[in-house]
């Protein structure tokens, strides 16, 4: 959903979308579980796991976020 909202805010003024994207980006940058090399992971209970879906879903989001904020 977040990756699609980046497309929406290119065409229309949508303050709620911008606020949502700021929140998700802050979470991704500062709170998302990661391995020591920066890879996204899931730390649940006593297990740490990598999901292919995390890579599949995060790349479009991160690319669009980087294009918009220049990071």
Q: What is the pLDDT of residues 28-58, one digit of tens each?
A: 989 999 999 999 999 988 899 999 888 888 8
Cα–Cα distance list, 6 to 12, 23, 53, 59 (Å): 11, 13, 20, 13
Domain extent for 57: 2-28+39-69
* Residue where the block lists tokens 């979470």: 27
How far apart CA 67 and CA 42 sit, in angstroms, is 26
Residue 34 forms part of a structural domain: no
Q: Quote the pLDDT of residue 31.
A: 94
Please give the model's pTM, rounded to 2 decimal places: 0.74
Q: How many structural domains are present in the chain?
A: 1
Q: Quote the pLDDT of residue 27.
A: 92
Q: Quote the pLDDT of residue 33.
A: 93
Crossing angle for the helix pair 15-30 and 52-69, to the nearest 10 degrees: 120
**What integer best gives the mean pLDDT of the chain?**
86
Residue 33 forms part of a structural domain: no
Residue 63 forms part of a structural domain: yes
């Amino acid at each position: 959903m977040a990756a699609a909202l980046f497309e929406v805010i290119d065409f229309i003024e949508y303050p709620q979308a911008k606020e949502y994207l700021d929140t998700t980006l802050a979470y991704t940058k500062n709170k998302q579980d990661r391995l020591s090399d920066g890879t996204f992971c899931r730390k649940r209970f006593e297990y740490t796991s990598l999901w292919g879906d995390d890579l599949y879903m995060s790349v479009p989001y991160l690319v669009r976020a980087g294009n918009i904020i220049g990071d």
